[in-house]
A = this chain, B = another copy of it.
Amino acid sequence: MTDPKSATAAFVGLGSMGYGMVQSAIRAGIDCYCRDVRPEPVERILADGAKGALSAETLIHCDVAIVTVLNAAQTKEVLFGADGIAQHLPKGAVIVSCVTMAPGVARELEVRCRDVELLFIDAPISGGSLKAASGMLSILASGSPEAFAAAGPVLDAMAETVFELGDTAGTASAMKAVNQLLCGVHIAALGEALTFAATQNIPPEQFINVISKCAGSSWMLENRGPHIVAGDYTPHSAVNIWLKDLEIAGTLAEQAGASTPLMIAALDQFKAAADAGLGGEDDAAVVKIYAEAAGVTLPGTKE
């Protein structure tokens, strides 16, 4: 399989990342069959050009199955649960697992797939929902050469860059944990610095305009800063995601003897945000914890 136009792909999970990835696959000419626990995004993606809903009958035709659910437990259920997709996929099909999980769990899933003659790519993603929808994700991927050969065109349809990091599952998940450590620290640091700036009579918009051109910038500052300036906490990636992802990174680092004082300080802020009822808001809402402590009023909040 080399031409994406001859590929047929199953997608499980139509959240902010998964939905955009299907859109990119459709644009590349891939036949897409989709499933989500909610009916609404399935109906919407069918209207957007997906071939059909995912079922035992349609799974038989899928060469590749992309899983973009919330966590490792959901991934296991999707693959090997009572109505798991593994039992319906044709032999030799590839599972592309995009969920952030511990490397050990990714390796375990690879072995279980091999046992039922399926290929597996550990393929966590980075880049946010806009890049998912434009086919410009970074995909951190590790798996067997056979799995890459079979899934390559579908991965390429969704990604600006596919980093092939190794020939077994786990390596990509480890890289994702490292990336998430940085992302979590940078989001919390954005909240810390933006609030500090506000106490110095530097408004959020000026802070973002200036610092994004200075050495203090980060991908997260440029991406999440405008959410705070607009006072818009519609979740692209929610506060609760960081409780999960930094827990995975923290456990892995602790097992390896790596010290992570900045990550722990960042996690404390996300925990405080979740405790304050902000768990479902956009992760930029961690700034509200800083702002409240300093008595700073943010855009979009009442005086």
Chain A residues engaging chain B, CB cutoff 8 angstroms? 103, 126-128, 138, 140, 160-161, 163, 165, 171, 174-175, 177-183, 185-186, 188-190, 192-193, 195-197, 199-202, 206-207, 210-211, 213-221, 223, 249, 252-253, 256-266, 268-269, 290, 293-296
With A140-B210, A196-B249: A262-B185 Cβ-Cβ less than 8 Å: yes
Chain B residues contacting A126 (CB-CB under 8 Å) are: 214-216
With A178-B207, A210-B165: A258-B196 Cβ-Cβ less than 8 Å: yes
Chain B residues contacting A296 (CB-CB under 8 Å) are: 258
Q: Of all chain B residues, which has the CB nearest A224?
A: B215
Asked if A221 and B182 sit within 8 Å, CB to CB, the answer is yes
Chain B residues contacting A201 (CB-CB under 8 Å) are: 171, 174
Asked if A127 and B185 sit within 8 Å, CB to CB, the answer is no
Among B196, B218, B252, contact of A256 (Cβ-Cβ < 8 Å)? B196
Give the CA-CA distance A253 to B196 in the complex, in Å: 6
Chain B residues contacting A103 (CB-CB under 8 Å) are: 200
Copies of this polypeptide in the complex:
2
Asked if B290 and A259 sit within 8 Å, CB to CB, the answer is yes
Give the CA-CA distance A175 to B126 in the complex, in Å: 30
Asked if B199 and A253 sit within 8 Å, CB to CB, the answer is yes
Chain B residues contacting A202 (CB-CB under 8 Å) are: 165, 171, 174-175, 178
With both chains docked as a complex, state the minimum distance between the C-beta of A82 and any C-beta of chain B, in angstroms.
34
Give the CA-CA distance A278 to B177 in the complex, in Å: 29
Asked if A262 and B192 sit within 8 Å, CB to CB, the answer is yes
With A165-B206, A220-B215: A262-B262 Cβ-Cβ less than 8 Å: yes
Give the CA-CA distance A179 to B294 in the complex, in Å: 18
Chain B residues contacting A195 (CB-CB under 8 Å) are: 258
Chain B residues contacting A186 (CB-CB under 8 Å) are: 186, 189, 216, 218
Give 9 closest A-B pairs by Cβ, nearest first.
A182-B216, A199-B256, A218-B218, A174-B200, A179-B216, A126-B214, A196-B258, A261-B265, A258-B294
Asked if B259 and A262 sit within 8 Å, CB to CB, the answer is no
Give the CA-CA distance A218 to B265 in the complex, in Å: 18
Asked if A263 and B218 sit within 8 Å, CB to CB, the answer is no
Asked if B215 and A183 sit within 8 Å, CB to CB, the answer is yes
6 contacts between A and B (CB under 8 A): A126-B216, A175-B197, A175-B202, A178-B197, A182-B211, A192-B262
Give the CA-CA distance A138 to B49 in the complex, in Å: 46
Asked if B200 and A178 sit within 8 Å, CB to CB, the answer is yes
Give the CA-CA distance A269 to B260 in the complex, in Å: 11
Chain B residues contacting A174 (CB-CB under 8 Å) are: 197, 200-202
Give the CA-CA distance A293 to B128 in the complex, in Å: 33
Q: Of all chain B residues, which has the CB nearest A131?
A: B215
Chain B residues contacting A261 (CB-CB under 8 Å) are: 192, 265, 268-269
